[in-house]
Amino acid sequence: MIQSKSQSCRGCIYNNRGDCWWFVEKNRGRPKSIPMDTYDKGCNQRVARVESIPYHPITARLIELFDGELI
């Protein structure tokens, strides 16, 4: 199994097109927009969409080459 290296908001289940469902606006029930400085770093509430994938040499090389997330 290959584990994701990155922890950004891109691979989080709460991320919805740049808005975060973890931080819902009070009295409105809508997600808040994720600040750009947080988007690349992620936060401590992050829950990954995919924790790991089965190992395959091509997949492992692509993730290593692009330092990518498993989305």
C-beta of residue 71 within 8 angstroms of C-beta of residue 15: no
pLDDT in tens, 5-23: 667 888 888 888 888 888 7
The rounded distance, in Å, linking the Cα atoms of 25 and 67 is 33
pLDDT in tens, 11-61: 888 888 888 888 776 667 788 888 888 888 888 888 887 776 777 888 778
The rounded distance, in Å, linking the Cα atoms of 18 and 33 is 6
The full length of the chain comes to: 71
Q: How far is CA 48 from CA 25, 31, 42, 43, 54, in A?
A: 22, 18, 11, 11, 16
Rounded to two decimals, the pTM is 0.59
